Each structure stands twice: as C-alpha cells, then as structure tokens.
Chains A and B, each alone.
Chain A
Amino acid sequence: MDAPLAQDEDKRLAALQSLNILDTPPELRFDRVTRLATRLFKVPIALVSLIDADRQWFKSSQGLTVSETPRAISFCGHAICGEELFHIPNAEHDPRFKDNPLVTGEPMIRFYAGHPLTGPGGYKLGTLCLIDRQPREMNPEDRETLKDLASLVADELGNVELNRTAMALKSREAELGSFLENAHDMVQSVGSDGRIVYVNSSWRKIMGYSEDEIAQLNLMQVIHPDSQAHCMAVFEQILSGKAAVEVEAVFLSKTGKNIVVSGNAQLRKQADGTLITQSIFRDITFRKQYETSMRRAREHLERRVLERTRDLQEINTALEQEVVVRKKIEALQAGRSLVLEKLAAGEDKKEILETLVRVLEEQVSGMKGSILLLDHEGKRLLNGASPNLPEAYSREIEGLAIGPKVGSCGTAAFEKRRVIVADTQSDLLWADYRVLAAQHHLRACWSHPIIGADGGVMGTFALYYHDVRMPSKVETDLIEETVHLAAIIIQKIKADQVLETLNRELEGRVKERTAVLNETNSALEAEMAERRRSEELIKAKNEELKAFAYTVSHDLKAPLRGISGYAQELLSEHHESLIERPKFCLEQIARATNHLDKLIEDLLQYSRLDREMPKSKDVNLNVLVKEIIEARASLIQDQGIEVTIDIPFSVVQCWEKGMSQVLSNLIDNGLKYSRKAKPPRIAISGETCSKVYRICVRDNGIGFNMKYHDRIYGLFNRLVRQDEYEGTGAGLAIVKKVIDGLRGKVWAESIPGQGAAFYVEWPKENYQQENG
C-alpha cells in the first residue's frame, strides 16, 4: 500500500522547501541524534527522513547507504499522517507493508518505528525513524524516548540559521560536484561493495557509459581481467584504512577498449557511516601506448643492435681467422721469395724443392712434406724433395707406379685430383701400403697433384702427419699456395732442361756453321789478299803512268828545247851562210818542235786531269765566261767575231778549274772554226733544268758531219787538217774528261757548213764527296 498524502500536502511541501534543508550534506546535529537512537534502541538503522513530493530524503542516516527512496514505498510517508508514533512491530504481518519491496527485499524491514517531525506551522515534514530486520515491540518508555528525540530533531529542523549553513554547504558541495563533474580527469566513487556510486562526465565519456548504465555497474565490470587482481588488492588496501594509494590500472570501456588509467584513491566515510572509495584517474592510454611503442621500438633497436653486434663479432672472428691465415701465407711468401731467389740464381732443383717443403713445414707444425715428380712417361713417381720423411720410406715408394688405389700420391697423380686421406690405417686407398705407413708412423697423408701450365700432372705435393687428421681451412690455403709455387718451380726446371737441350743443339749448329763460315772466310780472305795485290799493282801502274807523264813533260821537253834552240841559232846566227833549202828545213824543224811542244803541253794537261780531284765551290759562270772572252779580246776584235752570252744562272756549285778548261776549249773551238764565216758568231747560253745545269756554245763555223760525232772526243783526234785549222785534237778530249769527272755529259749537234752547237750538262747536287 502506497504511503498516503496529507490533506494540506502543498502547504506542507512549501513549509519543507522553506527550511532549505533538502539535499544538504549530512550534519552532526542530526547525525548525533540518529547515532544516539541506534544505541538507545539497539537497532541497525536510524534515519532522519524528510518527505518530499515523491521521495523520502534522509538528512541523516545510520545503517543505510542510500540517501533517499521513493515516497510511494516509504514507511515514513505513512508515519507523517498521524501525530503520534507510527509503529510496525513486524512488517511481514502488516497487510499494508508485507508486499513492500523494502520488506520483501533489502533492507528486509521487519520492525519500523517512526515519530513525525513537526515543523513551523505544525506541518509534519518527516520522521525520526528506527528500523530493524527483526520484529520487535516498543514499550512506553521507548516511545517517550523516541518522542523526545524526535522533538530534538524537529527543533533542529526549525533552526533556520543552521539550515542556511547547511544549504551553503550544499551549494559548495554542488560546486565541488560540478568541478569534479567537469574535470578532465576521471573521477569515481565506489562503494565498499564495489558498486559505482558516482563517476564524472570525463569518466563516462572515456568509458562510453551513460549515467543510467553506470548505476547498474560494479567496479569489477569495468576493470580489465588482467588488472582485476591488482585493483582488488588496492581496493582492499584502501578499505583497510590506508590513507591514499597510488593506482595504475587498465579499465575496459563499454566497447571493449583498454583504457589505461593512473591516479590515486582514498577512503571516505560517508555521513551515514558507510565507506566509499574516491578516486581520480588520468587516462594514460595514449601515453601508455606511446610508451609501449617506444619500448617496442627500443626493444627492436636493442635487438637489432644485438644482432648487429653478433654479426660484427662473427665478421671479426672471421677476420681474425683470415689474419691468421694471411700471416701464415705471408710467412710462406717470405719463404716463397727465398725459393724464387734460389730459382732465379739457378740453384740445384732438388735443393729448391727441399727449401719449398721446409718453408711449408715451418708453417704447419707436425707436418712432413714430400714432393714427388712424375717421370717422362707419366707413369711413375720419383722423389723430388722429402727432406724430413724417413729415408727408408722414400726408398720404398721410389718409382711408384701411379694408379687408382695407390696411396694418396699415386692416386692423386693418376686421378689428377686432391686426395685427402685422414687415416692411412683405415682408408682403402692405402690398403696395399698400410703396413709400410704403420712402420713409419704415417697416419694422415694429403696429396695434391701439381699441375703444369699445359694442364698435365707434373708431380704431387703431399703432407704427412703422425696422427689422424683432416685439413683445416688455413692448411688448405697454405697448401694451395705452396702447390702453386711448386708448379711454377717444376715448370721452370723443366723449361730450363728444355732450354739446355736446345742450347746444346744450337751450340752444335753454331760450331758447324762457324766451321763453314771460317772456311768461307779463309777463301774470302785469300781473295781479298789477291784483290789487294791487284790493287797494289794497279796503283803501282798508275804511279808509273804518272811518272811517265812527268817524264814526258820533263824529259821530252829537254831535247825539244835543244832541237829548237840549235835550229834557232842556225837560223839567226848563220842566216847568211845558208842556202834556200836548208833554211826551209830549219824553219820546218822549228815549227815541228813548236807543235810537238803544244802536243806535250796538251798531253800533260789531259793527264793531269786524272790526278786532280774536282773541287766544288761557288763559281760565277757569267764572270768566268767573260774572263775567257776578255782573254781573247784582241783576236775577237781582229776577226770581227760577234759574241753573245746568255747564262740565266750565275753562281753555281762547280769545279772552277775544270769548268774553265771546258769553256775555254769550247770557246776556242768556236772562235777557230767560225773565223771564215761572215760574220763569225759565237753564242754562249745557259739553261737550268730540274736536276742539271746545261751550257751550250754555238758557232756558225764549218761544223762537222754527225757521223764523226763520237770520234771528236778522242784524244788527238781531229776532223780537219793541221794546215787548215791548227790544233792538237786534245780540246774536246779534255772537255769530255772534265764533264765525266762531274758525272755530266757532253754532246754536239752540227750540220756541215752551218756551224756546230756543243752542249755540256752536269748534275746540280754536290759531287765533291763522291769524287773524293
């Protein structure tokens, strides 16, 4: 049954409103009374309940967490209808209340006792009520006590000053509420049972819940499962009285999003004595996400750094190994230089190979090296160098025929591949040599074929160990280096051998050839000697000839002078005593001697040309011709001879004396043979061709028949009689001789009776050296 309304309800409500007490915070002056009531009556619940239009609002409340309940279901709404105490000993048995939700459900009201509170104007504003979950009775003393207490409360309600204070408090609380409500941080109040009492707008906005939904929520529902245990622990902590606790938790929004919050929580005891936790959180999801991504990035980076470091360490390790190998190879190369020096110095091949083996042995401890050389037929292995292998062993394998199962070396040479036998005592390749190897404690044997430049096997390089083992990378590198070097050395040794053979053959051939040449040479020398003797002879003859000419000039002339002299004496000093004929004879003798004198003179001049060398110098031919003409000026003038000179080149390289003789003779001839022409004419002209100089002496004299052309250059050959035209016939011979000396040529053109033209030409180039 719903609580009834009073008759003057409007006025009653106006009176209640005028007190300005509704929704004000709890006040000690009322709480003292309710606390006192619970103690006095030993009830769990005591309230100061004010009946508003449709609710009952608790100004003070002991034992209840709610601050108001609907008026309709309220007990107090009934209580204010009477003047006296409204008492229900057992609500279950009361037909008005037995169906009331406050009876059938929480707080399971059984006993109710409410005394009306009469305010100004006599209006019943509410009650001071006691509630128990057990039925009970009230004796008269209890009723009086409650009545007194209700009066105390009513008095306080009438205290307007105090109410104003409470109102002010309420507005402050409202301000505070608004402040919290609008804060950016998330604010929440949670009851000790985990029910959410209050959250602000930021909270709702972030978590995505409406106000209505929140009323139904328990704190644990909005906490991420992973965070629940932690939150529960914190919650317990707070409830156990710890002042303020820093919290970090993950909430779960309505849409299932993780919201990371950080803040603090504290316990607050409400006016009704109930405990709530109040918390202010900040949404640090983004910060957390940022932190997470940062952490991930950092972790990634650290991982990368670790990986990189690992890579680098690997590289470093590899490098260190490489350095070890390098050092070994360098040491080997130093040894290699030594080997190559020995090779270059042409030392004994066995010693060079032994040095090579020793060099490798120094680098690979516990190893004994062996070089075997394949014989010329390519079938058997012969010891090349095994300085530290047991001699007996080397003797035993000397001349080993190669084959597919002949230990390491025999197989390596046969199959032309590297053969690594880690244990001679178990490897099949060594089946036939196992005992031999065991006798000499040779357990491992790695053999490499030594391949020549032509791709053929030249031998093997083997490494023996006293223990079972396989080659390491370093060893393999070292061995390959050494094998390569061994190949070079053996190649060189072979080449030297071939060279030696070739040299021997060559020497033999050189000797043969030398013998032949020597014979030829002797023959040639004999011939040369013969030639020299001939030359000496010719030279002597020449000298004789010269002496002859000299003798002629001197010895012929002396008697000639005698004849001439004595004939003259007769003619001049004995002129009167001579008759006609003897006088004529003497005159003929004198003339003959004169002619003979001229002949001798010309002969001398001609022979002298043989002995005189052409001397090249700058000669002005124009001047030379003019001098010659000048010397004959009186003759030319007497006979009225017309002379023309036209030489376009003046200075030429020439033999002056020779050229003078040539021109003099040609001009003299011209003058002589043209003297009967009317008028006599002589033209001397020059012509320069690309390679030669040419001079022509032309006259209009008697000329000659061209059939005699070749005769006219012979010494003393004449075409005319002495008594017609005087002369010795030496002139043209001299001309020819000079021009021959200049390597030129002389020729003539003539028609008898119409004159003659004589040409001489000689090369331009210097002929001095050729004629030296």
Chain B
Amino acid sequence: MNAQGGKYDKMPVVRPILLVEDNPMDLDLTLKAMKEQGMTNPILVCRDGEEALQFIEAHNTEDDEQLPLIVLLDLRLPKVDGIEVLRQARQNPIWKQIPFIVLTTSKENSDIRRAYELGINSYLVKPVDFPSFSGMTKMLKLYWVLTNQPPFPGKD
C-alpha cells in the first residue's frame, strides 16, 4: 500500500474492472490494449449476458471486494443481451450506482438511445484499427480509472 497516498488511493488498485465480452478475439485484443496502457486493476470477464447477471446477483453488497470500479459492456451478447443486463443492473440498488461504459461496434441511434435511457455513463465505439483502439483504451484508463471518483469509497 502506498503510505503516501490519500485514504482513497488504494481503492483503484484493489477494485476490479468488469469486462463483458463474448468475442474471444475482441477479448484478447482488449486485454492486450489494457496491458499496453498499464491498466493494473484486476480484470473480471463475463462471456455472456447470463454470466454478467449471475455476477451481479453474486456481488450485491457495498463492501463486496469484487464490486467493480467500472463495467465495460458489449451490447451484442449471447443468451442475454447487453441492454437487458443494463436494465436489471439499474434495478439493483448497489449496481445502479456502478459506472457502466458501453464498448461496442454499433453506431445505431437506437442502441445509443436505449443505452443512455438505462443510465449508462459512457458509450464508446470500438475502432477496427488496433492502434486507434489502444489509444481509446488509454483515454478510458485516464479518465475512468485514474480521474473519476467512483461510488462506495469503502472504509479505512
């Protein structure tokens, strides 16, 4: 632990990032981009919507250590799609406070509107070009991991 940091400094270190992604290639490249950008948070991965809902159900308290710092959510998922995951998460008193960032290929207006209606915090379109994607991941880390103040600051 970094003694020099403030009482919240240790939080980003311990709190995981939840990645909901079914495509193995996308998952690999995303993890690679995160690694490239020096993201040190544990990365928890759900491979479909159902898994994501089970995870939410399983980690349902304020002080759960698995409670993620942010959720990166693909919309197009097997079994239960991303929109449904969002809808249920937003009905949960704990999870409705967690920042959800949609990370998807779709630029469809309908997707964007529905996602924001369910209270997402950011909507990012994955570029095909990997360097661009890596750059985007860097911005994401800078803002959501390092800059943003998350909910449930926890106890000392």
Q: Which residues of A contact B (CB under 8 A)?
A: 550, 553-555, 557-562, 564-566, 568-569, 593-594, 597, 604, 608, 612
Contacts and interface: CB of A to CB of B under 8 A. Distances in A.
B3 interface: no
B106 interface: yes
Interface string B109-142: 1000000000000000011111101000000000
Interface stretch (B23-31, B53-61, B89-97): B23-31
A558 B26 contact: yes
Contacts of B104: 554
B25 A569 contact: no
Q: Please provide the 6 A-B residue pairs with the shortest distance between their CB atoms, ordered closest to farther.
A: A562-B25, A565-B130, A597-B128, A565-B29, A568-B130, A557-B105
A196 B127 CA distance: 175
B108 A594 contact: no
16 contacts: A553-B106, A553-B108, A554-B76, A557-B105, A558-B23, A558-B105, A561-B25, A561-B126, A562-B23, A564-B129, A565-B29, A565-B130, A566-B25, A568-B130, A568-B131, A593-B129
B7 interface: no
B76 A564 contact: no
Contact of A560 (B106, B107, B109, B128): B128
Contacts of A569: 32, 130
Contacts of B105: 553-554, 557-558, 561
Query: Which of B32, B104, B107 has the largest count of A CB atoms less than 10 A from its CB?
Result: B107
Range of interface residues on chain B? 10 to 19
Contacts of A565: 25, 29, 32, 130, 133
A577 B91 CA distance: 53
Given A554-B104, A561-B130, 17 more contacts: A550-B106, A553-B106, A557-B126, A559-B25, A561-B25, A561-B29, A562-B25, A564-B129, A564-B130, A565-B133, A568-B130, A568-B131, A569-B130, A593-B128, A597-B129, A604-B107, A612-B109
A558 B108 CA distance: 16
A575 to B, nearest CB: 14
Contacts of B25: 558-559, 561-562, 565-566
Contacts of B131: 568
Contacts of A594: 128-129
Given A561-B130, A565-B130, A553 B26 contact: no
A564 B128 contact: yes
A562 B106 contact: no
A604 B29 CA distance: 24
A550 B128 contact: no
Contacts of A564: 128-130
A594 B128 CA distance: 8
B29 A562 contact: yes
Nearest to A604: B107
A604 B106 CA distance: 10
A561 B133 contact: yes
Contacts of B130: 561, 564-565, 568-569
Contacts of B128: 557, 560-561, 564, 593-594, 597
Nearest to A597: B128
Interface string B4-35: 00000000000000000001011001001000
A649 B29 CA distance: 51
Nearest to B33: A565
Contacts of B107: 553, 604
